[in-house]
Each structure stands twice: as C-alpha cells, then as structure tokens.
Homo-oligomer: A and B are copies of this chain.
Amino acid sequence: MEERIERIKQQLHSHGYKLTPQREATVKVLLENEEDHLSAEDVYLLVKEKAPEIGLATVYRTLELLSELKVIHKINFGDGVARYEFRAENAAHHHHHLICIQCGTVDEIVEDLLGDVEKMVERDFNFEITDHRLTFHGICHRCKAESESE
C-alpha cells in the first residue's frame, strides 16, 4: 500500500505534479476499494470521511489527472456515471467485466480472452489496436443461485 502510494507520488513528480494531502486521500480511497468500480461521487463521499474539507471538484480534478497519467482508468458502463479502476502495471494485461443486469454487481475476468481475436482484427482490418473494452451483460452466479433456490 505505502509503496504503491510512493510510486504514484513519483509518477506525479515526474510530470511536475505534487501529491497533495487531498490527492493522497483520494488515492488511498481508490486503493482501499480496488475491488469496486467507484464513481466520482462514491470516491468523494469516501474521501470526505477522511478529509471533510475536500471539494467535489478536487476529486474530479484528481481523477482526471490520474487518468492522464494512466494510473487509473475511466470506464463507462452506460449508466451515465464514469467509474474508475486501477490500471494493470503491464500494458499487456487486460481484463474484462461481467455486469449483472439483476443486481448490478460488476465482476472481473482477469484473463486475456482476446489475444487471438486481436491478432485477427489487426490483420484483417488493418487496424492498430491500442486498447479494447469487453463487457458481458447477463445474470451473475449469485442471482442464478438465488432464483434457483426459490
């Protein structure tokens, strides 16, 4: 945890930015809730518990800054709010999302399912892929278990 903050601090410094207390609080919240896909509002409320004087705008500015530095990733599941998650350190390491249409939970698949598909797309469409997004919508194992036990 500490060393990850230290790393982010260095990334900020190398681009001429500072790790202010507000930014540090925001990063901590993101680290502590790495499993979830927090919205800016979520982050704001959690940060406010540690540092009540922080403003929503600062959280937005920090999230945008961290996105620019590619520390976090801004994702959009189509529900009108942006969510944020840490980026994998090694660029090749992709992951995907399973969104439950019943309970709304977002699970992750950390395996890279698209290696072959990407190669095919690059070749057949002469398209140089820099990133991809893959989400599955459906019913998660929890909701399936629940409906079966009824």
**A residues with CB within 8 A of B:** 74-76, 78, 98, 101, 107, 109, 113-114, 117-118, 120-121, 125-141, 144
Contact = CB atoms under 8 A, between A and B. Distances in A.
Contacts of A127: 98, 107, 136, 138-141
A contacts with B: majority SS: strand
Nearest to A135: B133
Given A75-B78, A98-B125, A107-B125, A120 B130 contact: no
Contacts of A144: 126, 128
Given A98-B125, A117-B113, A121-B109, A136 B141 contact: no
Contacts of A139: 127-128, 130
Nearest to A121: B136
A50 to B, nearest CB: 29
Nearest to A98: B127
Contacts of A114: 117
A98 B128 CA distance: 10
A146 to B, nearest CB: 13
